[in-house]
Homo-oligomer: A and B are copies of this chain.
Amino acid sequence: VSVRKLKTTRQSEIVEAAVAIAREKGLDALSMRRVAERLGLTPMALYGYFRNKDDLLDGIVGYLLTLLPDPDPALDWRDRLRLTARGARDVARSHPAVFPLLFARPSVSREAVLAVDRIHQALLDGGVADDQVARIERLVSTFVLGFAISEVSGRFSDSTLNLRGRRARLGPEELPAHHRLAAWLDPEVDWDAEFEADLADLLIVIESKLGGAKE
């Protein structure tokens, strides 16, 4: 219940130490005690800067959001969307252990609102109707974050990798499509190309709304 004021002076230093530990040893190894140790502090010293561990994780999410690109508003709206999407994927690949936090924690920070506003503006500039902007932003952001997380968490690669082994044990009656698609499922996927193709498909959706009837 106490509303004790948090110090801000060393907040970013602490967040960066936490990110470094997660990068080096994984998210499971990220503990208040280890963050403190890395900074030469007692665990309790951190509680002057963050209310608890969840609060520190939210700090990490905020930090990740500051790493997103802020494209020149003079660019074409499509380019702004593409640059932001690619930037999000880059952040994921450079911070694989902590990036999935973006999906687990609500994040209503200042950084989050600013990032969302940039997407809203790009969609408005493209001519998306006012009442559709928020939904399309969520559609695109949800997919882009989901793709980036799937990539770094192994949801994509592990599943394509292990398919052959599974298929041997599962027979064509149980897996009709997999057996027909065998030629296309085995090769290692070019994730850069897949992400670009997905972005192009999302732009198809957006542009399908532009010329449409007013009501």
Contact = CB atoms under 8 A, between A and B. Distances in A.
Contact of A133 (B108, B158, B177): B177
A175 B117 contact: yes
Contact of A150 (B103, B110, B154, B180): B103
A159 B117 contact: no
A194 B135 contact: yes
Q: State the oligomeric state as a number of copies.
A: 2
Contacts of A105: 153, 155
A142 B143 contact: yes
A201 B166 contact: no
A11 interface: no
A180 B131 CA distance: 11
Contact of A176 (B117, B155, B183): B117
Most chain B beta-carbon neighbours within 10 Å: one of A138, A185, A189: A138
Given A106-B154, A197-B135, A124 B162 contact: no
Main secondary structure of the interface of A (DSSP, over half): helix
A69 to B, nearest CB: 17
Contacts of A204: 204-205, 208
B176 A116 contact: no
Contacts of A208: 201, 204
B133 A181 contact: yes
A109 to B, nearest CB: 9
Contacts of A184: 130-131, 133-134
A103 B178 contact: no
Interface of A: 100, 103-108, 110, 112-114, 116-118, 120-121, 124, 130-131, 133-135, 138-139, 142-143, 145-147, 149-150, 153-156, 158-163, 166-167, 170, 174-178, 180-181, 183-185, 189, 194, 197-198, 201-202, 204-205, 208
Given A142-B143, A143-B146, 10 more contacts: A103-B103, A103-B149, A113-B159, A113-B175, A117-B178, A120-B178, A134-B189, A139-B201, A142-B150, A204-B208
Smallest CB-CB A-B distances: 10 pairs: A146-B146, A120-B177, A106-B158, A108-B162, A121-B177, A142-B146, A106-B154, A201-B205, A143-B143, A117-B175
